[in-house]
Amino acid sequence: MYEHDVIVVGAGGAGLRAAIAAHEAGADTAIVSKLHPVRSHTGAAEGGINAALREGDDWELHAYDTMKGSDYLADAPAAETLAQDAPEETIQLEHWGMPFSREDDGRVSQRPFGGLSFPRTTYAGAETGHHLLHVMYEQVVKRGIQVYDEWYVMNLVTDDAADPNDRECHGVVAYDVQSGNVEGFKANGGVILATGGPGQAFDHTTNAVSCTGDGHAMAYRAGAPLEDMEFIQFHPTSLPSTGVLISEGVRGEGGILYNAKGERFMFEYGYANNSGELASRDVVARAELTEVNEGRGVNDEYVHLDMRHLGEERILDRLENILHLAEDFEGVDGLVEPMPVKPGQHYAMGGIDVDENGQTCINGLYAAGESACVSVHGGNRLGGNALPELIVFGKRAGRHAAGDDLGTAEIETGYGPDVEDETETELPVQPGSAGLDTAGGVAADGSGVATETDGLIERAVEAERTRVDHLMDKDDGVQHAQIRAKLQKAMTDYVNVFRTDEGIRKALRVIRECREEYQDVYVDDPSRTFNTDLQQTYETRNLIDVAETIALGALVRNEFRGAHWRQENQERDDENWLKHTLISWEDGDPNIFYRPVILEGEKTYEPKVRSY
Amino acid sequence: MSTQQEQPQEPESQEAPEDPEMRGTESPQQERLKEKEQGLAQEEAVDESDLEGETVHLKVFRYDPEVEGKQEPRFDDFYVPFEKGMTVLDAVMYARDEFDSSLTFRHSCRQAVCGSDAFFVNGKQQLGCKTQISELKQPVRIEPLPHQEVVKDLVVDMDHFYDQMHAVEPYFQQEELPDGDLEEQRQSRENREKVKMSTRCIWCAACMSSCNIAAGDNEYLGPAAINKAYRFAMDEREDEEIKEHRLRIVEQEHGVWRCQTQFSCTEVCPKDIPLTEHIQELKREAVKKNLKFW
């Protein structure tokens, strides 16, 4: 058994920042990640980091833009913390040597981004995430922080207190991908989940193959609710054939969207009369699909993004990476022709229910980054707000887990006196695992009554070893790839940009089928060495749980807010829906409830019509 | 165990390495497109339309130390239906998901930024996700990176590569910072431009695998690590003292002087980093500083 004070799961931007902060606060810190840190998907972020650094800008404007962009579903203390801490954290990256793009006077450059009232997106070419990831990994190397890379975390170790609010997280169970050994990791201070997004629940996504919502699913099954999972951002400019992302920076620098008739539709059809291409991402994504649905799409599938008029020099200076992506993944030279783009799944605004210190309702369990929902982004995330979230809240989670006092959180977590139960919607099928053994031949989670920590961890390790043996000893059945493909297709068909009650119900039925099929899943690769078949089989189970929460949230929220559009009620309904959707696992019998959004922090954010 | 086999086709004889100072007059994009055109000519690329509805023949290296029948390395044939825009990564993923779930390789982002999927494709180190099937001769031969221990199938042990990367103190070291938490260090646009290409490294190890010197000298830092040192040594935000310290690291016995300017690393770099030039420049800097000469 390995033992540390703080164990960080995942080594992208949030995980690395959390580990550095915990280490600096004096904790013996280790990172456990299924990828080597530099392979993490933070590296694919292109656009930049919003931070109010310059004269004429201030954190209050940034917080205001974030609240408006969220369609008033972000919690004010979260948005304000982000806006207040982002400048210092961004300059910290510069002090660590990050190669930001520069102005003539040598200061870091900032550019306009969608939904921002000030050009506050700090960037390093169109590869900001790559640099952020590498700079932070460098700092991890410098500090000698222990990294268990290519270790796949299979489960969390918690005690089995009946109420999740009384539970405590003691560590994780993971296996060394290279050798197949399953081992326990004891965390004396806390476990921080920084496992990224669940984009692989969809089949057209800008997310990496590794973005399988592992942290979401593990926290959910351990008893921490998932929050606002229905809010999925579809990025307006992904390449049609692969889903590869074309940065919002292209539009920030002046790139223009055209339909098949050569019309600048954002203005000509009145989708965003003021901001045009730089309206919020959800607005642009719906506009593009409306153009396609009304017959004005190119090849009935996509629209064009044109940046030729910016000139070669400016493009090479600020957007060179975009030329490579368009050429390599779509065969288009952005200097001589417009680039085909369409909306692709990009980001999950929702995630593991945490407060502004990164803590879940389970003592000792934290989450940060895309896997968490503080909530900074509410119904829609602004471009350039993901990277500052990683560093601001990654750092807070790391410090808190290491024992630093960050004050009492204002945001509540878990099921408590302030929540309201969902009572109205009838579900088409039974969600969760009730009556099913989705654990792959192992009794439901949380068995045993051990209270002693080492015993708990050993038991959890044994449970995972048994699960692995079962999956590998089984000689036939269904393979995960088949189930995963079916799940992804249903989510893309029915829980996409435009959603209907009927469609979402269909998706829930398919998800149920996937669950049933998963009971018969087996791993064909007989080897313990680097068994990616086994790893993906675990991931697919996580995707089923996470996809189901996305569909459940989408079904119950019968309104149009931010990225969540419902055909039956195409208006924002502030009277009934200024509240977060929460879903808790309840030992396999999911429970849906709501918590009011906090619109009052240091400032008050009165919901206004969101026009751009 | 290494899989370095006789290459199925000899790469065209490279142009003689020009004076590095003379290179770089064209934009990286232009250079890259030109190289790509040359690459196309070399491979006698198949017209995509000829491949529509066809299957692609893959010959994939297989090895697993603990599975009977795979302990002796072998090549497996896979026939994958072609789709427009299909990459080598798409093809091996199809083969794995449809035919043999034990087919093992690293991959993640699918867009040439995570650096996981450098393979030896038709005798050249390339990223699977960035290499179009239509540009390759068939059968497409896919092997793990040569000169690295094979763990299983296309997965190689990366530890040695990481050790070399870590050996150059790959982190910014500047003790004196501007006063005030919100004050950044200044860096000229020219200097940022100078280090720009070197900061693009994605640690894929294609360069290390292509380097004959690294193959013969296990202690050689290798192109990626030296490039990492260059990235900091040339960054004006670090003091002269640190720069000298960095030059001492790279001019050691197994450092820059081992490079024989064969340009193989530069040739295979998926991020078009002028690795050989960077190594040459560090040699010149070391001479200027009068550092010990091996």
DSSP B62-102: E--TTSTTTSS-EEEEEEEE--TT-BHHHHHHHHHHHT-TT
CA separation for the pair A44, B114 (Å, rounded): 8
B129 and B166 inside one domain: no
Backbone angles phi and psi of B41, in degrees to 5: -65, -40
Task: Indicate if B141 and B163 belong to the same structural domain.
Answer: no
pLDDT 10s digits, B95-116: 999 999 999 999 999 999 999 9
184-223 of A, contacting B, C-beta below 8 A: 208-210
Residue of A nearest to B187 (CA): A106
Quote the tokens at residue B152. Answer: 């299983």
Examine residue B282 and state whether it is found in any structural domain, yes or no.
Answer: yes
**pLDDT per position as a tens digit, B45-69:** 555 666 777 999 999 999 999 998 8
Q: Which residues of A touch B133 (CB under 8 A)?
A: none
In a domain, B225, yes or no: yes
**B17: confidence class by pLDDT, cuts 50, 70, 90:** very low
Q: What is the DSSP code (8-state) at residue A126?
A: T
Domain boundary among B155, B183, B199: B155
Are both B144 and B60 inside the same structural domain?
Answer: yes
Alpha-carbon gap, residue A380 to A197, rounded angstroms: 15
d(CA B81, CA B207): 31
Q: Please tell me whether residues B127 and B166 are part of one structural domain.
A: no
Give the minimum alpha-carbon distance from A214 to chain B in angstroms, rounded to a whole number. 15
In the residue annotation, A281 being an active-site residue is answered as yes
Residue pair B104/B153 in contact by the 8 Å Cβ criterion? yes
What is the average per-residue pLDDT within A515-539? 97
Chain A residues whose beta carbon lies within 8 Å of the beta carbon of residue B162 = 36
CB-nearest partner of A97 from B104, B188, B235: B235
Q: Which positions in chain A touch B186 (Cβ < 8 Å)?
A: 105-107
- Name the strand (E) or helix (H) holding A33: strand A29-33
Domain of B206, CATH number, reads 1.10.1060.10
Vertex A389 angle, CA A387 and A390, to 5°: 65
Q: What is the CATH number of the domain that holds B70?
A: 3.10.20.30
Q: Mean per-residue pLDDT for A526-553?
A: 98
Binary contact (B152, A529; C-beta < 8 A): yes
Please give the Cα distance from A606 to B10 (Å, whole number): 69
Say whether B97 and A96 touch across the interface (CB within 8 A).
Answer: no
Under the banding of pLDDT at 50, 70 and 90, the label for residue A437 is low
Are B201 and B96 found together in one domain?
no
Maximum distance among all Cα pairs of chain A, rounded to whole angstroms:
69
Report yes or no on B117 lying in a domain. Answer: yes
Distance between CA A399 and CA A387 in Å, rounded? 18
Specify whether B137 is located in the same domain as B163: no
Q: Classify residue B211: in a domain, yes or no.
A: yes
pLDDT > 60? residue B37: no
Number of domains in chain B: 2
Q: If you search the block for the tokens 């995963």, which residue do you land on? A: A484
CB contact under 8 A, A316 and B27: yes
pLDDT at A408 over 80: yes
Q: Is A427 helix (H, G, I), strand (E, B) or coil?
A: coil
User: Residue written as tokens 């530890």?
Assistant: B159
> Where is average pLDDT lowest: A233-242, A329-338, B26-35?
B26-35
Identify the CA nearest to A201 among candidates A219, A188, A217: A217
A608 touches chain B (CB under 8 A): no
- B166 lies in the same domain as B248: yes
Chain B nearest CA to A181, separation (Å): 14
Confidence of residue A612 (pLDDT cuts 50, 70, 90): confident
Query: Is B45 part of a structural domain of the chain?
Result: no
- Reference A363, options A186, A169, A545, A175; nearest CA is A169
Quick check: A442 pLDDT over 50? Answer: no
Nearest residue of chain A to residue B271 (CA atoms): A324
Is B116 within a domain? yes
For A322, name the nearest residue in chain B, comparing CA atoms only: B29
Q: What is the pLDDT of residue A452?
A: 86
- Chain B residue numbers touching A209 (CB-CB < 8 A): 107-110
Q: Are residues B220 and B108 in the same domain?
A: no
B109–A131: do the CB atoms touch at under 8 Å? no
Cα torsion B208, B209, B212, B218: sign: positive
Do the beta carbons of residue A575 and residue A516 sit within 8 Å? no
Residues B207 and B250 in one domain: yes
Q: Which domain holds residue B55?
A: 51-155
CA distance A193 to A200: 18
Between A594 and B20, the higher pLDDT residue: A594
Domains detected in chain A = 2-232+347-421 (3.50.50.60), 235-343 (3.90.700.10)
Q: Are residues B203 and B282 in the same domain?
A: yes
* Residues B133, B165 within the same domain: no
Distance CA B72, CA A62 (A): 60
Interface contact A105, partner B, CB < 8 A: yes
> B14 in a domain, yes or no?
no
Asked if the interface predicted TM-score (ipTM) of this complex is over 0.85, the answer is yes
Residue B46 has a pLDDT of: 56
Strands B140-143 and B55-62: parallel
Question: Percentage helix, strand, coil, to 5, in chain B?
Answer: 40, 10, 50
Task: Assess whether pLDDT exceeds 60 at residue A374.
Answer: yes
Q: Which of these three, B127, B155, B183, is where a domain ends?
A: B155
Question: What pairs with residue A117 in β-bridges?
Answer: none
Assigned domain for B33 exists: no
Contacts A–B by Cβ distance under 8 A: 169
Task: Give pLDDT tens digits for A279-312.
Answer: 989 999 999 999 999 999 999 999 999 999 999 9
Same domain for B279 and B166: yes
Catalytic residue among A281, A396, A557, A610: A281
Mean pLDDT of chain A: 95
